[in-house]
Structure 1
Amino acid sequence: METQPPHAGPFAVGMFSAGDGPAFPGLVRDDRVLDLRTVPKLWAGPGEEPTTRALLGRWDTALPLLHAAADSLNDEHGERHSLPALRVHAPVEPRQILQSGANYRTHVIDLALAHEPADGRPAERVRAETAAMMDRRAAEDLPYMFIGLPSSITGPHDDVVIPDWCAKPDWELELAAVIGRPAHRVPADRALEHVAAYTIANDLTAREAVFRRDMPEIGTDWLRAKNPPTFTPLGPYLVPSAFVGDPGDLRITLQLNGEVMQDESTKDMIFDVARLVAYASQTVRLLPGDLVLTGSPAGNGMHWGRLLRPGDVMEGAITGLGVQRNQCVAEGA
């Protein structure tokens, strides 16, 4: 993968640990990390657990303090670490994960073609019908969203454990919007005001578990297909939205063992970040630290006919958000 800057803007925030010590919130600038527990103005008091989720809960007041902390990294105050010496954890523990499916035009067409229709329709007809379906969904403002579990999250450099029952594990690199201000029934033209930051999520899927063969009429089984432990590598950092620029013009790239599998722009999204956040908020009260995953572009394993195996290494990057690297291991290995 080509060399990318660690993140956009002057700093990012995340969760880190040194040795066997507890995880702590840190501010990343270049190759240094400031322990944010040593910046007392950020925290409500001694009884508050210092986490990035707590910062997101007061993001409007925390962000100027983070800017000041970044500017003072060369001062003598505060505890500093070398980034290579730290373990990088998932950058936030969300209460809720809202996930978007079938949100990239090329990806949806690829999946429709991969699941060859039993009625023998030619590929061009399948492609045209799928494109018409997406145009209809966009016009009717109907994203497809479902709920993920926080217990599936793992760190950006941790192993991904393939369950012993999972025969078809697949990768799905995605842009994740991180909520700051609570959002309930917000319109699309105000939705981005509630997005504090962005990060990277790899929303792995057990493809054989998506559709219940014993109950085809009931639809998809996202519980089993999406939520085993470690199936959502997250991070490395939370990059403030002001540093990211247009979330509808970012490059998403995933390499498998050094070979590019996904390489697409978020321009290919059917529903942009604002519409997804607004749509989710019509039903759910989104809370600080919650994630809105925006769907995965073309280039998944189903398209390539090559699914994940123990020993595989996935390396994913999104413009301005850094790089995550995860190795696959078999359960019990």
Structure 2
Amino acid sequence: MRLMRYGARDGAKTPVVLDAGGQPRDVSALVPDFTPETIPTLRDVFKGVDLEGLPLAQTQGQRIAAPVSQPRNIWGVGLNYSDHAAESGMEVPREPILFNKASRTYCGPNDPLLYSKEMSKLDWEVELGVVIGRTTLNVSRDQALDHVLGYCVVNDVSERAWQAERGGQWVKGKSFPNFCPTGPVLVTGDELGDPGKLSLWTEINGERLQDGSTEKMIFDVATIISYMSEFIQLEPGDLICTGTPPGVGMGLKPQRYLSPGDRVRLGVQGLGEQEQVVEHLPAR
């Protein structure tokens, strides 16, 4: 299945499943929304359903929302590509490096990136996002992918000065509003295939700066989920950002960061594309 949602950030959303021809079918008569509560039921809800028999969703001019509703938890995995660790001048980790992103980072795939006057090193990170499908605790690596609902594109936006120069944990540099554009589509594992063989890329103002593959992951998706479930009970809808390939602003020589007006475009093979424009934080 390929899941999408449309609607204003703080308003009601229309849940959509793309049919075999890529047409968006309104499934709100079957499920009110794709939420942590409904996610475990989706396979049963859609079992045997003829999508072509459902009404087309009215998507013209509508905002594309994140493909599932607000997750209870957003997790990140740091330095998970060998070539990104090298460009960062850091050792390859022996165990996955885990961090959190605040809930308000979660936004639609094309929502603006907000620029605060306190920022100086705003950076991009295309990543494969993994959405958990059912409660996961102490799961083996062999069973880990059975606990995945699907996969999506994520931009793990980072303010590097806050992350690396202000002390404490990475969460400070990862948690500003709109620092986790997600979507446009969530593709279930049975349709996507092997998540370990996907190309992913980022362009800044039309210049391609990231061009990598999930084959370069140090810890693959199954290993990440199994490892995390040793310490954390993962919940339906939880989002895991699995790391980024080289080509981030921090790793360039000279370093390069985002400013208001810059356009960020990124994608993952089979999962669609995002596009964001950096905008000044609105006055309050």
TM-score normalized by structure 1?
Answer: 0.78
2:201 maps to 253
1:24 maps to 14
Selected match of 1:156 from 76, 93, 109: 109
Residues 59 and 180 in structure 1, CA contact (< 8 A), matched pair in contact too: no
Within 5 Å, give how 1:184-199 maps onto structure 2.
184-199=137-152
Change (3 A) 1:59 1:325: same
The residue type equivalent to 2:211 in the other structure is D
- Residue 98 of structure 1 aligns to a residue whose secondary structure is strand
Q: State the Cα distance separating 1:151 from its structure 2 match.
A: 1.2
Q: Which runs of 4+ in 1 moved over 4 A?
A: none
Selected match of 1:61 from 19, 37, 44: 44
Q: State the Cα distance separating 1:171 from its structure 2 match.
A: 0.2
Change (3 A) 1:271 1:26: same
Q: State the Cα distance separating 1:63 from its structure 2 match.
A: 4.6
The superposition leaves residues 138-163 of structure 1 with CA deviations (integer Å, 9 ceiling, x where unpaired) of xxxx1111122221111111111112
- Larger helix percent: 1
Change (3 A) 1:258 1:12: same
2:182 maps to 234
- Identity among equivalent pairs (%): 34
Change (3 A) 1:143 1:223: closer
- Residue 186 of structure 1 aligns to a residue whose secondary structure is coil
1:287 maps to 235
1:121 maps to none
Change (3 A) 1:100 1:198: same
Long gaps (5+) in structure 1: 1-10, 43-48, 113-129
Residue 145 of structure 1 pairs with residue 98 of structure 2:
yes
Within 5 Å, give how 1:201-216 maps onto structure 2.
201-213=154-166, 215=167
Q: Please give the alpha-carbon distance, in whole angstroms, between the structure 2 residues aligned to 1:151 and 1:293.
A: 15
Q: Count the aligned residue pairs.
A: 279
Residues 181 and 194 in structure 1, CA contact (< 8 A), matched pair in contact too: yes
Change (3 A) 1:21 1:167: closer
- The Cα RMSD (Å) is 2.1
Q: State the Cα distance separating 1:312 from its structure 2 match.
A: 0.9
Within 5 Å, give how 1:115-154 maps onto structure 2.
133-134=91-92, 137=94, 142-154=95-107
Residues 13 and 27 in structure 1, CA contact (< 8 A), matched pair in contact too: yes
TM-score normalized by structure 2?
Answer: 0.91
Change (3 A) 1:69 1:157: farther
1:318 maps to 268
Q: State the Cα distance separating 1:188 from its structure 2 match.
A: 1.0
- Residue 57 of structure 2 aligns to a residue whose secondary structure is strand
Q: Which has the larger radius of gyration?
A: 1
Change (3 A) 1:52 1:12: farther
Long gaps (5+) in structure 2: none
Report which stretch shifted further, 56-65 or 142-151: 56-65
Q: State the Cα distance separating 1:52 from its structure 2 match.
A: 4.2
2:86 maps to 109
Q: State the Cα distance separating 1:222 from its structure 2 match.
A: 2.4
Q: State the Cα distance separating 1:81 from its structure 2 match.
A: 2.5
Report which stretch shifted further, 220-229 or 254-263: 220-229
